[in-house]
Amino acid sequence: MHLNARIRRPRILIAVATAVAAVLAVALILALTVTTYDHTSPRAARGKASGSVAGNVDCRKAKCVALTFDGGPSLTTPRLLDILKQEDLHATFFVQGKGHIAKYPEILRRISEEEHEIGNHTWNHEDLTDIDVDDARQELTRTQGAIEKITGTRPILMRPPEGRTNRTVAKICRDLGLAQVLWSVTAKDYETTDSALITKRVLDQTHRDGIILLHDLHKGTVPAVPGIIKALKRRGYTIVTVSQLLAPAKPQPGMVYRP
């Protein structure tokens, strides 16, 4: 065997071993940061529950999809509420504290009075996985207190900003009685004002038991809602809140619900 060949083989083996180690390290990191909190789907949660469903919608039988809005209330929210009232529909609003609840308490009060579901979307829209535990808890407790002061009710649902969560966030939520709600449909309406594009993105991604994420504060979103509702109804969907989608299961504090 030539000297060069003898040298080359150990180098190849070292390179392979290094690559394998890197892949295993990435897999370990992903396992620790992504999959170590409890999570389930709306369908699975319903399947494990028993009992009757309050109201006239049973998503065990109906073809349901949950409609949710993040980041409000804002000046565009009243128009959205008008649309939902006209369609006799209820949605879930994950509201934010700074610049929203604090600025438009009367709009939040209207959301509550018209019997929409209200969830917690933190005070400053901080990534809860990237701040101190005490700060993360404060992001949620401050918002809980503000919502209760205005509506008389403390939320049982929250949506982590950017969908980022982990075991620590799950524990905080469990302590505060908050279930975490992610989504299966996003129109990325924060990057476009094109209502037709927003509508297309929603319809392309929607399936039974899905959760639609929209933002009522962006310019193109509210104008897209009537068309989205009309098309979903035409396709046989029943539009519900998150809690209706889960029923007869009850949202479990700390649990992450994602379709």
Q: What are the beta bridge partners of residue 93?
A: 69, 118
Q: Which residues of 80-108 are buried (b: 16+ CB within 10 A; e: fewer)?
A: bbebbeeeebbbbbbbbbeebbeebbebb
Out of 90, 100, 116, 215, pick the active-site residue: 215
Q: Is 215 a catalytic residue?
A: yes
Q: Is 134 a catalytic residue?
A: no
For residue 234, how far is the Cα from the chain centroid? 25
124, 138 contact by CB (below 8 A): no
Count of beta carbons in the 10 Å neighbourhood of residue 149 = 11
Count of beta carbons in the 10 Å neighbourhood of residue 168 = 14
For the annotated catalytic residues, the residue numbers are 70, 215
